[in-house]
Structures are given as C-alpha cells and as structure tokens.
C-alpha cells in the first residue's frame, strides 16, 4: 500500500485515508480522502518531512507519515 | 444591571488570535509564532457603543476533538462555557484548513462570527478573500481584519453584537442521511439530560464517533446512564459505521463543505510560494545546521557582551544603595550585627543576583522572542527532530533547550509545548544540563584562566572550547533522554505533528516589551525571592562561629573528602551549595570562602581571581572538573521551584535534583581518576 512516506520531496499525490494512533489528528489537519498533498522539503538524515496540505505546511516524522494512505498512480 | 455578555475567541494556532484578543482588550498577552503559548484561557473586557463585553481567549486548537492540553482547554471553553457568541479567528492564507474548526463551532451555536485575520499578509502572497461571498457561503457574518494594525476590529465587535441580538442561520454541514437520522434520534434522547447546556446534535455526533475527551468533559456535567449508552450504540448501528469510520466520514464532509466555501470566496495564485519554499529548503537541510549554530552563537555573543556594561552599572548602583541603607540603619541605631546581616547579607546578595541576572535576560529573551516571532523556531525543531526521535524524545525539546540557554527555569516552563507527558517530563528533567546565562561566565572564566590565556587568540580559543562544552552538554542531554526513556520513563516516541507557519517579519517594539515583561521579570521575581533569604544564610554561615571556626569552615571541612575525590575541594562544593539561589554567584562564593572575607567578593578582576585560585592549589584539572560540575549539578532554586510547579510532584523535583548531580559527580570522579593514573 502506498503511504505518504513513499512520496519523495517535490512529488505530490492524493490522500486515501488516515489510519493509526494519529488518524483523527491527521484528518483534522486536512488529510482526508481526496485531499491533494505535496512533499515540500525534508530535514537532514531520515528526519521529518514537510507537506503542503490545504494551504498549510505540516511536518511529520516518516514513521507517522505511514499512517496516511495515498491513492496509487495519481499525481496532484 | 445584567451581567456582561461573554464572547469566546477560538482559532487555530498561529492565526493571530492573541493579537486580536490584545487589540480588543488592550491586554498584553504574549503571542508566539508557534503552537502552545496560550495554555489557559485569558479573560479581558472591551466595550462597544456603551456596552461592555467579557472576552475569553482560548488556546490555539485545530479542532474541538481535543488532542492536547491546549485543545482540551479550548474545547471546554467553546463547548461548555455557554458564551453569548463565539468569534472564530482564521488565517486568510490558510482558510480551508481553518474552516474545519469554524464548522465545528457552528454545530454548537448559531451565534458565530468568522474573523478572517492576516488579510494583509495573505494579499502579499497573492491570496484574495471575498468576505461577502464567504459570509454568504457560511450563513454567518464575516469580518476581515489585520489585527496587528488594529484594522477591522470594530466591525468584528459589531458583528458579534449583531449575532447576539439576532442569531443568524448558519449553513451547517449536512452529513449523509443515515448519519443525520441516527444523530437526530440520539439528540432527542440527550435533550433532557443536557438541560439546554449544549447543542444536542453536536453532543450526539461526538458521542457517536467516540470522542474520548468530549465524553470525559460531558460526564463531569451529566450522568451518562445505561439508557443513554444504549442509545449511543443504537445510533452507531443505525449508521452502519464503526466510530473510526464515522469520524472519518464527518471530517471528510466538513472539508468538502470547506472546499466549496473557499472555491466561492478565495482566489489563490498558481505557485507564488516559491520564495518561502526556497528559503525553507535552505534553512532546514544540512546547510541549516551551521546557520542555526551561528545564529545561536550570535545571540550569545550579543547577550554576554551587551550585558557587561549594564551589569557593572547595576552592581555599582546597588553598592551605593547599600551604603545608603547602611547609614540609614546606623542612624536608626540598629545593632551592628543586624545592620551587617541586612546590608552585607540580604541586600548585597539580592543586589548581586539582580545585577548579574537582569541584563543578560533582558537581552537574551527579546532576541529569542524575535526568533520566535519570525517563525524560525519551529524550523529548528523540524531540522533537529531526527536526533530526538532516535532518543525517543520530541523534536520540540530542541526549543526548550534553546530557552534553557537563557534560563533553565524558562526552559522548564517552555516544556509545556510538548504534548506527550512522557516526553515533556524527559525534556523537563534534562533541561538543566544546558548551561544557562548564569553559568557561561563561570565557564568562560575557567577557560580563560586555565586553558586559553588572554589576548585575541586566547579569546578565540576560549570561544572554541566553550562551543565544545556546549556540545558536550547537548550530547549528555540526548544520552540522558535516551536512558530515561529506556528506564524510568519507558516508551516509544509518540507521534506528533508540527506546523511550520510562514516566516513573518517580527514585531520589534511589542516583542521587546512583552518578553521583558513576562519572562525576564517573572524569573527575576522568583530569583530575588530566594536571593535575600539565601544572603542571610550565607552571612550567618560566614559570621557565626563554633569552636573557633566559622560554620562555613566546618561545612567545607566536611565536604573536603568528597571534593577531593571529584578533583575539587570542600570549598568549591560549598560554593556550589551557596550558589543554589543563582549559578552566577558560585565563583564569588568560592573566592569568598577562600579569603574568609565575610561578604560577597567582586570577581571582575580575572587576573586577581586567577592568582587567588592558583594559590589555593588549583590546576587545569581543578578547572576542568569545576566546569564539568558547573554543567552537571543540581538546578538552581528558581529552576527547581519551577519544576515543582510544572510537575506538581515532589518526587520528580527530587529526581531533577539528583540526576544531574549524580552525573556530574561521576564524570568528575572519572576524569580525576584518569588524571591520577596518567
């Protein structure tokens, strides 16, 4: 399954849904089905990544980004 | 006269909500450019056309489904305070996300007003908001504002007054039929137990999606009987969805409505964020690390250099004041012992603490607030998070460590920004490992006297060595964090989200005023409260004799064996104990004990201090161990008081005292043993 952590810097995609301990928080931040998201930049190493979602920039740890499922083969 | 009508202010973090609050009420509340500043609801009053309103500010919240202490407080204020109106403050540039909260509020009360703030900033980024169209799409009054400039606030208040007098008809989100029917059924069951205290449909939806926090708050106010429980279950079955799927459906529906409203009212340029993005990529990548270090070093340089002159001036002023006080007491024919106790004891220590603490803080905190205001600090947390994740801690700990550089008490208070209680405690307990303004001069003096020497080359070498010590402090902090999360504070790193708000030009004038007010004076007040009694104690220790020796001599003799084991001596350990009120006075205390001078010595003359210490048998090893112990020993009294307040636990306060002390003692003993072997 493709997740938000599979999106590399400069790429985008559409959210399919959020599942896990952070799911409600992520949805409240706008990671709901169909939302366009873009990975903007990344911290050094395997650190956090910043995503543009609904006009805001939200940073997530990569292991948390796995809680957001993405649509396959679709670029926003 | 009836009671003043209340208006609750709600909004996402970083939308300028506190600025709106301040502009309305004239209160000076500190606003930060990163989440978690307003922890409790602030209250103020404002008036319009002769009527006075009470305004309640709430902490920033993304949603009424609370995920943090701040959001819980916001949820409680909006849901349960029975306010006469709610103003939702939104960032014009980020309206779609902000409308999530607005739609939730509109489910609670019709008397809602939307304030689209930061219009000027959005316009600069090419985002145009049609306030009229937005009002039409939402069915409530919408007021545009630039709260920083004080624009649009009167109109906002008028709108709030209008909705209180005649509630509008908000266009609420319509959920799928099955959900609406189930919610209506449950709402009917809830109507009676809720006693008009809360919108039953809203309560029904939250209970159906199993919002734990809301349920807890509701249970405080009404008994959730088995019949209600059964009704909740029935409603869930009716929708054919489990709570998680239902929650997803609700949020999706809200965002679909938000998309439609924004499509009607917001025009965004294509691209347009490129400049910010380019800077962000630079500032947060590998290249960002040296930039960050340089910036921190610059802040310290300005602080330490800038503080010299006002500190000297304050010390001189306090000296004169002391002489005045003494002659006053003499004129009143005070007994000489009491006069000395009050002047050389209480007043001199108090003056000393203020003279050494006030100027660095009055410089450091405004500088730090400028960084905060500009939006740079969340980017620091972002860049360094990986390091903290590996230590099972939170990236925001980087920020509390930076604050700790200024003052550990402020750093400890800053730990409120960390949501996970476990990670917050880790940050709080390890904060004093980071040398504060009060310890830098001690470290610097030791480096200059025993390692680097004077002159420009010496100064540069000292600066380099100081950086090394700071790196050691950071390393030990990380190590201790990792150890804590493997032992007493077991757990995996919690998940968290970090918003990176757009970088903004900081507000110079207000910033300086506010950070002076709420950080510097707060810390100084706490420090001064301890300094005067400590001064009395120090005076007694150095003046009361037993068996021909002062009490202090007895203490230093008692501590001497332990001190020797750590490559120090009894006097140095006594100096650290006497320096408990403020780390700044540790070195003067040591000099005082050596010379048995009976009162606080000036240590401004480094060369004289050096020869005094060398005469007492100090070597480079002594200086090294002193620096290590200065980095790792019990926090000062102000910090411990703050830890006690923040944790509310004597056990953790004791632990915060013991942990760094143990580490420092062990480190000193190791270096001492090594030196002996070599």
* Structural domain includes residue A76: no
Number of structural domains in chain A = 1
Query: What does the pLDDT look like over B558-586, one tens digit per residue?
Result: 999 999 999 999 999 999 998 888 888 88
Chain A residue closest to B395 (CA)?
Answer: A48
Chain B residue closest to A40 (CA)?
Answer: B277
* Residues B481, B602 within the same domain: yes
* Residues B149, B189 within the same domain: no
Strand bridging mode B51-57 / B112-117:
unpaired
pLDDT value, residue B27: 63
Yes or no: say if B114 and B138 are a contact pair by the CB < 8 Å rule.
yes
Query: What does the pLDDT look like over A4-17, one tens digit per residue?
Result: 999 999 999 999 99
* Residues B377, B519 within the same domain: yes
Q: Residue range B45-54: average pLDDT?
A: 89
pLDDT value, residue B34: 35
Indicate the helix (H) or strand (E) that contains B267.
Answer: strand B266-267
Distance (Å) of CA B165 to CA B84, B107, B187, B308, B536: 10, 19, 26, 59, 62
Q: What's chain B's average pLDDT? A: 87
Answer yes or no: is pLDDT of B675 > 80. Answer: yes
* Structural domain includes residue B192: yes
Answer yes or no: is pLDDT of B33 > 70. Answer: no
Contact between chains at A40 and B285 (C-beta distance less than 8 A) = no
CATH number of the domain enclosing A19: 2.30.30.90
Answer yes or no: is pLDDT of B678 > 90. Answer: no
Q: For the residues of B431-452, what is the DSSP string, one character each? A: GGGS--TTTHHHHHHHHIIIII
Answer yes or no: is pLDDT of B405 > 90. Answer: no
Answer yes or no: is pLDDT of B437 > 70. Answer: yes
Nearest neighbour of A55 by CB, restricted to B94, B255, B395 = B94
pLDDT value, residue B201: 94
pLDDT value, residue B356: 80
* Structural domain includes residue A8: yes
A23 interaction partners in chain B (CB closer than 8 Å)? 244, 248
* Structural domain includes residue B280: no
Indicate the helix (H) or strand (E) that contains B362.
Answer: helix B348-374
Residue of A10, A17, A32, A40 for testing the chain B interface, max B β-carbons within 10 Å = A32
* Structural domain includes residue B272: no
Yes or no: say if B89 and B17 are a contact pair by the CB < 8 Å rule.
yes
Residue B11 phi/psi, 5° resolution? 170, 165
Burial class of residue A18 (count of CB atoms within 10 Å of its CB; 0-12, 13-18, 19+):
buried
Yes or no: say if B61 and B10 are a contact pair by the CB < 8 Å rule.
yes
* Residues B298, B403 within the same domain: yes
State which of B132, B165, B198 marks the end of a domain: B165
**Distance, in angstroms, between B651 CA and closest chain A CA?**
30
* Structural domain includes residue A66: yes
* Structural domain includes residue B170: no
Of residues A66 and B222, more confidently modeled: A66
* Structural domain includes residue A53: yes
Query: What does the pLDDT look like over B60-101, one tens digit per residue?
Result: 899 999 888 788 888 988 988 888 999 999 999 999 999 999
Query: What does the pLDDT look like over B341-386, one tens digit per residue?
Result: 999 888 988 888 888 888 888 888 888 878 877 889 899 999 999 9
* Residues B63, B118 within the same domain: yes
Answer yes or no: is pLDDT of A53 > 90. Answer: yes
pLDDT value, residue B385: 93
Task: Give the residue among B27, B43, B307, B81 at the shortest CA–CA distance from B198.
Answer: B81
* Residues B465, B518 within the same domain: yes
Residue A72 phi/psi, 5° resolution? -75, 150
* Structural domain includes residue A75: no
Distance CA B84, CA B391 (A): 47
State which of B165, B189, B220 marks the end of a domain: B165
Distance CA B43, CA B410 (A): 23
Answer yes or no: is pLDDT of A71 > 70. Answer: yes
Nearest neighbour of A57 by CB, restricted to B288, B389, B499 = B499
* Residues B438, B563 within the same domain: yes
Indicate the helix (H) or strand (E) that contains B261.
Answer: helix B243-265
Answer yes or no: is pLDDT of B604 > 80. Answer: no
Which pair of structure tokens corresponds to residue B571? 């006097």
pLDDT range class, residue B206, cuts 50, 70, 90: very high
Q: Residue range A35-43: average pLDDT?
A: 95
Domain containing residue A45: 4-70
ipTM of the complex model: 0.95
* Residues B454, B486 within the same domain: yes
* Structural domain includes residue B283: no
* Residues B416, B542 within the same domain: yes
* Structural domain includes residue A58: yes
Answer yes or no: is pLDDT of B36 > 60. Answer: no
* Structural domain includes residue B31: yes
Query: What does the pLDDT look like over B274-284, one tens digit per residue?
Result: 778 888 888 88
pLDDT range class, residue B601, cuts 50, 70, 90: low
* Structural domain includes residue B418: yes
Which one-letter DSSP state was computed for residue B497? E
* Residues B510, B579 within the same domain: yes
Share of chain B above pLDDT 70, in %: 94
Residue A52 phi/psi, 5° resolution? -90, 125
Distance CA A55, CA B673 (A): 59
Counting every residue, how long is chain B?
678
Answer yes or no: is pLDDT of B38 > 60. Answer: no
pLDDT value, residue B142: 97
**Distance, in angstroms, between A66 CA and closest chain B CA?**
11
- Top-ranked range on mean pLDDT: pick from B188-202, B241-255, B637-651: B241-255
* Structural domain includes residue B274: no
- How far out from the chain centre does Cα B22 lie? 19
Chain B residue closest to A63 (CA)?
Answer: B495
Strands of the sheet containing B497-499, edge to edge, are: A68-70, A12-18, A36-42, A49-53, A56-60, B497-499
- Interface check A39 vs B, CB under 8 A: no
Distance (Å) of CA B250 to CA B108, B206, B245, B509, B654: 15, 10, 9, 44, 47
Contact between chains at B501 and A57 (C-beta distance less than 8 A) = yes
Q: Which residues on neighbouring strands pair with residue B242, listed in sequence order?
A: none
Q: For the residues of B651-675, what is the DSSP string, one character each? A: HHHHHHHHHHHHHHHHHHHHHHHHH
* Residues B462, B556 within the same domain: yes
pLDDT value, residue A76: 46
Nearest neighbour of A30 by CB, restricted to B97, B286, B395 = B97
* Residues B229, B364 within the same domain: no
A24 interaction partners in chain B (CB closer than 8 Å)? 65, 67, 247, 251
State which of B123, B143, B165 marks the end of a domain: B165
Answer yes or no: is pLDDT of B257 > 70. Answer: yes
Residue B6, helix vs strand vs coil: strand
Lowest pLDDT segment from B18-32, B275-289, B452-466, B597-611: B597-611
Contact between chains at B255 and A41 (C-beta distance less than 8 A) = no
Domain containing residue B202: 177-267
């Amino acid at each position: 399954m493709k997740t938000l952590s599979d999106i590399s810097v400069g790429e985008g995609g559409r959210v399919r849904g959020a599942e896990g301990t952070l799911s409600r928080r992520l949805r409240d931040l706008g990671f709901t089905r169909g939302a366009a998201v873009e990975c903007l930049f990344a911290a050094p190493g395997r650190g956090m990544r910043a995503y543009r979602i609904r006009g805001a920039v939200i940073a997530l740890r990569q292991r948390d980004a796995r809680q957001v499922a993405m649509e396959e083969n679709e670029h926003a | 006269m009836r009671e003043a009508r209340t208006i609750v202010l709600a909004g996402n973090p970083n939308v300028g909500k506190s600025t709106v609050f301040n502009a309305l009420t004239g209160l000076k509340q500190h606003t930060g450019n990163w989440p978690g500043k307003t922890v409790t609801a602030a209250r103020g009053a404002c008036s319009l056309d002769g009527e006075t309103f009470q305004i309640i500010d709430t902490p920033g919240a993304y949603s009424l489904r609370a995920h943090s202490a701040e959001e819980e407080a916001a949820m409680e204020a909006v849901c349960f305070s029975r306010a006469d109106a709610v103003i939702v403050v939104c960032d014009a540039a980020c309206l779609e996300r902000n409308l999530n909260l607005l739609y939730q509020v509109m489910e609670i009360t019709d008397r809602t007003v939307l304030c689209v703030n930061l219009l000027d900033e959005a316009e600069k980024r090419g985002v145009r908001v049609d306030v009229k169209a937005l009002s039409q799409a939402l069915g409530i009054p919408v007021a545009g504002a630039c709260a920083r400039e004080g624009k649009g606030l009167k109109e906002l208040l008028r709108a709030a007054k209008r909705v209180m007098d005649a509630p509008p008809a908000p266009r609420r989100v319509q959920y799928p039929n099955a959900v609406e029917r189930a919610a209506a059924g449950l709402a009917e069951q809830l109507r009676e137990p809720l006693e008009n205290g809360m919108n039953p449909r809203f309560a029904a939806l939250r209970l159906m999606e199993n919002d734990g926090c809301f349920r807890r708050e509701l249970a405080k106010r009404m008994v959730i009987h088995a019949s209600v429980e059964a009704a909740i279950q029935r409603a869930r079955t009716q929708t054919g969805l489990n709570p998680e799927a239902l929650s997803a459906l609700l949020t999706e529906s809200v965002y679909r409505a938000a998309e439609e409203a924004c499509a009607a009212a917001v025009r965004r340029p294509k691209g347009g964020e490129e400049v910010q993005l380019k800077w962000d990529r630079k500032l947060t990548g590998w290249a960002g690390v040296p930039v960050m270090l340089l910036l921190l070093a610059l802040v310290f340089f300005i602080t330490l250099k800038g503080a010299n002159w006002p500190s000297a001036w304050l010390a001189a002023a306090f000296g004169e004041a002391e002489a005045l006080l003494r002659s006053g007491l003499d004129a009143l024919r005070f007994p000489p012992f009491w006069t000395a106790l009050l002047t050389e004891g209480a007043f001199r220590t108090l003056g000393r603490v203020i003279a050494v603490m006030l100027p660095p803080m009055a410089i450091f905190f405004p500088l730090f607030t400028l960084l905060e205001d500009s939006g740079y600090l969340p980017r620091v947390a972002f860049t360094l998070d990986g390091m903290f994740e590996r230590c099972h801690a939170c990236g925001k700990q980087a920020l509390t460590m930076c604050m700790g550089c200024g003052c550990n008490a402020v750093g400890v208070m800053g730990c409120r920004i960390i949501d996970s209680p476990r990670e917050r405690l880790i940050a709080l307990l390890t904060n004093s490992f980071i040398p504060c303004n009060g310890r830098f001069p001690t470290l610097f003096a030791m480096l200059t006297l025993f390692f680097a020497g004077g002159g420009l080359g010496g100064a540069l070498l000292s600066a380099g060595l100081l950086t090394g010590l700071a790196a050691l402090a950071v390393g030990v902090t990380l190590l201790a964090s990792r150890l804590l999360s493997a032992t007493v504070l077991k757990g995996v790193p919690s998940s968290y989200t970090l918003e990176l708000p757009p970088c903004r030009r900081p507000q110079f004038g207000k910033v300086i005023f506010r950070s002076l007010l709420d950080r510097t004076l707060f810390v100084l007040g706490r420090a001064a409260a301890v300094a005067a009694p400590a001064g009395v104690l120090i005076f007694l220790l150095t003046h009361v004799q037993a068996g021909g020796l002062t009490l202090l001599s007895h203490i230093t003799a008692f501590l001497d064996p332990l001190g020797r084991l750590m490559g120090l001596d009894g006097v140095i350990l006594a100096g650290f104990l006497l320096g408990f009120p403020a780390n700044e006075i540790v070195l003067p205390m040591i000099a005082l004990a050596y010379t048995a001078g009976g009162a606080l010595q000036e240590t401004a003359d480094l060369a004289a201090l050096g020869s005094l210490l060398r005469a007492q048998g100090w070597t480079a090893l002594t200086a090294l161990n002193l620096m290590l112990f200065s980095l790792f020993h019990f926090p000062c009294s102000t910090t411990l008081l703050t830890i006690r307040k923040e944790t509310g636990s004597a056990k953790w306060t004791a632990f915060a005292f013991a942990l760094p002390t143990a580490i420092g003692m062990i480190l000193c003993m190791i270096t001492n043993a090594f030196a002996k072997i070599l």
